[in-house]
C-alpha cells in the first residue's frame, strides 16, 4: 500500500515514529562512539601509545616462556613490554636477543635505569617467565634529562662500559685494598668518577639519536628445569634412602628379637627374685633365720660385751683425767725444784767453781788409779783401741806425775 493511500492521521503518526527511530539510532551511535573512544583512551594509556618510549635490549640463552607483548617490570610495576625476540648467530655467546621498550610517563621509569642495572629473568610457579629490570645503585643514568624535561638523551653503552672499566682500574690504583675491605665505598668512588666524567663530556657519552641500550642479563633457570633437576637429585638419592630404610627395618627386627629374649629372661628370673624376697623375709624379725643362726645366748652376750665396753670407756676417761692432774702436780714440783736450785745458785756464786774443782779432782783421781800398778789391769783397753790410740804424754794430776 502506497503512502498516498494512508489517511492524514496515519501519515502524521508514521512521521513521528520515523523521527523517534532516527533519534534513537543517532543516540545509540553517539554512545557507541563515546564508548569506543573511552576504550581507545584507556588502552592507549595502559599500553603507552602516546608516551615516549626508550628501547633497551638484553641477551639470553633460553627464551622459553617469553613472547612478544609480555610486560617488563621495574620495582614491581609494569614499565614496558617485549617488542622483539631475535635468535643470534650460532657463533654468538648468547643465543637470543630480546628487545623491549620502556615508556616514559609521569613517574619517569627510565630514570631508574642506570648503567649498572641488570635484567632478571624471573619465573612463577606456573612456569611463566618475565623480565624484570633492577634499579641502578652505583652508576650513571641511561637517560639524561634536561631541566625543561623536553630534550632527552640516551647513554652510549659501549662508551660507558669502557669508561667504567677504566675508572675502576684507576680507583684500584689510588686506593689499593679498598675493594676487598669495603666494597660499598669502592663502588661509590667509581660512581663519583663516572658522574664527573659524564658531566664534563656529555657529547661523548650521550646522544640525541634514538638508539638501543644493552643491559646485562641475570638469567635464572625456568621452573620446569628446576623441577627436572630436583627430580634427578631425588632419583639419585632414592637408592640411599632405600638402603637406610632397609637398615632401619633390620634394626627394628633385631630390637623385636632382643625384646622377646629379655621377656624370656625376665620370666626365668621371676622365681629367683621371689625366692630372694622370701629369704630376706626369713632373715628379719624374731625367730627368723638370723636369730636361729646366732642363738639366743649370743645376742645376750653381745649386749653384755657392749655394756662392759661402755663402762671401760667411761673408766678410761676418768683415769685419764686423774693421770693428767697428777702429771700437772709433777710439773709443778719440778718447777719448784728448778726455782729452788736457781735461788741457791744466785745466793752462792762460788758453788759452780766448787763443783768444777770437784769434777777436776775426781778426774785426777781416776787417772791416778789407772796408772797404779795394782789397778792398771782393771783399766786395760782392748787391742784395737791400743792400735788406734795415739801416744799421750803422761802427766801427773798434781804437777809431776804419780
Q: Are 389 and 381 in contact (CB under 8 A)?
A: yes
Task: Write down the residue that cell numbers 628379719 correspond to.
Answer: 284
Task: Return the DSSP state at 393.
Answer: -
Digit-coded pLDDT (tens) for 217-260: 886 555 556 667 777 777 777 777 777 888 888 888 888 888 88
- Whether the per-residue pLDDT at 30 is higher than 90: the answer is yes
What per-residue confidence (pLDDT) applies to 381? 66
Helix axes of 183-200 and 157-174: crossing angle, nearest 10 degrees: 130
Every domain of the chain and the residues it spans: 3-43, 51-220, 348-402
What pTM was computed for the model? 0.47
DSSP bridge partners of 122? 130
Please indicate whether residue 49 or residue 190 has the higher confidence score (pLDDT).
Answer: 190
Q: What is the DSSP string of 192-244?
A: HHHHHHHHHTHHHHEESS--EEE-EEEE---HHHHHHHHHHHHHHHHHHHHHH
Arithmetic mean of pLDDT over the chain: 78
Taking the CA atoms of 320, 321, 322 and 326 in sequence, report the sign of the dihedral they define: positive
Cell numbers for 47? 599500553
The cell numbers describing 248, all together, are 632401619
| Mean pLDDT in residue range 174-195 | 87
Q: How far apart are the first and last CA of the chain?
A: 211
Element (H, E) at 93: none
From CA 333, how far away is CA 339, in angstroms rounded? 10
Going 254 to 259 to 260 to 262, the CA torsion angle's sign is positive
Secondary structure of residue 78 in the 3-state scheme: strand
Mean pLDDT value across residues 345-363: 77
**Lowest-confidence range among 65-69, 93-97, 236-240, 392-396?**
392-396
Q: Report residue 115's pLDDT band, with 50, 70 and 90 as the boundaries.
A: confident
CA distance 234 to 225: 14
3-state SS, residue 132: strand
Question: How do residues 142-171 score in pLDDT, each as one tens digit?
Answer: 888 765 555 578 888 888 888 889 888 988
**CB neighbour list of residue 134: distance below 8 Å, 6 or more residues apart:** 117, 118, 119, 120, 218
Tell me the C-alpha distance between 297 and 289, whole Å: 15
List the beta bridge partners of residue 57: 99, 214
Amino acid at each position: 500500500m502506497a503512502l498516498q493511500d494512508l489517511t492524514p492521521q496515519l501519515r502524521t503518526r508514521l512521521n513521528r515514529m520515523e523521527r523517534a527511530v532516527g533519534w534513537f539510532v543517532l543516540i545509540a551511535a553517539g554512545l557507541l562512539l563515546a564508548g569506543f573512544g573511552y576504550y581507545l583512551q584507556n588502552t592507549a594509556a595502559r599500553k603507552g601509545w602516546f608516551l615516549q618510549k626508550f628501547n633497551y635490549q638484553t641477551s639470553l640463552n633460553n627464551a622459553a616462556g617469553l613472547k612478544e607483548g609480555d610486560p617488563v617490570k621495574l620495582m614491581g610495576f609494569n614499565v614496558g613490554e617485549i617488542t622483539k625476540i631475535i635468535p643470534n648467530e650460532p657463533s654468538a655467546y648468547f643465543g637470543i636477543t630480546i628487545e623491549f621498550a620502556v615508556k616514559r610517563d609521569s613517574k619517569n621509569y627510565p630514570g631508574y635505569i642506570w648503567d649498572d642495572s641488570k635484567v632478571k629473568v624471573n619465573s612463577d610457579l606456573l612456569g611463566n617467565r618475565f623480565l624484570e629490570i633492577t634499579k641502578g645503585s652505583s652508576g650513571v643514568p641511561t637517560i639524561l634529562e634536561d631541566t625543561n624535561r623536553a630534550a632527552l638523551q640516551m647513554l652510549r653503552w659501549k662508551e660507558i662500559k669502557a669508561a667504567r672499566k677504566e675508572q675502576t682500574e684507576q680507583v684500584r690504583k689510588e686506593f689499593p685494598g679498598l675493594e676487598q675491605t669495603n666494597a660499598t665505598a669502592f663502588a661509590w668512588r667509581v660512581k663519583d668518577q663516572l658522574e664527573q666524567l659524564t658531566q664534563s663530556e656529555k657529547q661523548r657519552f650521550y646522544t640525541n639519536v634514538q638508539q638501543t641500550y644493552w643491559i646485562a642479563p641475570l638469567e635464572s633457570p625456568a621452573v620446569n628445569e628446576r623441577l627436572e633437576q630436583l627430580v634427578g637429585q631425588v632419583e639419585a638419592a632414592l637408592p640411599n634412602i632405600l638402603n637406610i630404610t632397609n637398615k632401619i627395618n633390620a634394626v627394628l627386627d633385631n630390637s623385636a628379637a632382643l625384646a622377646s629374649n629379655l621377656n624370656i629372661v625376665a620370666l626365668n628370673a621371676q622365681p629367683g627374685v621371689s625366692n630372694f624376697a622370701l629369704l630376706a623375709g626369713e632373715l628379719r624379725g624374731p625367730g627368723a633365720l638370723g636369730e636361729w643362726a646366732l642363738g639366743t645366748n649370743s645376742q645376750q652376750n653381745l649386749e653384755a660385751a657392749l655394756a662392759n665396753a661402755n663402762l671401760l670407756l667411761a673408766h678410761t676417761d676418768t683415769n685419764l683425767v686423774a693421770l693428767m692432774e697428777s702429771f700437772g702436780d709433777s710439773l709443778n714440783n719440778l718447777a719448784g725444784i728448778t726455782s729452788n736450785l736457781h735461788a741457791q745458785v744466785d745466793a752462792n756464786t762460788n758453788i759452780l767453781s766448787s763443783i768444777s774443782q770437784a769434777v777436776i779432782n775426781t778426774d785426777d783421781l781416776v787417772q791416778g788409779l789407772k796408772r797404779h800398778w795394782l789397778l792398771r789391769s782393771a783399766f786395760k783397753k782392748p787391742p784395737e783401741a791400743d792400735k788406734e790410740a795415739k801416744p799421750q804424754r803422761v802427766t801427773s794430776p798434781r804437777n809431776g806425775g804419780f
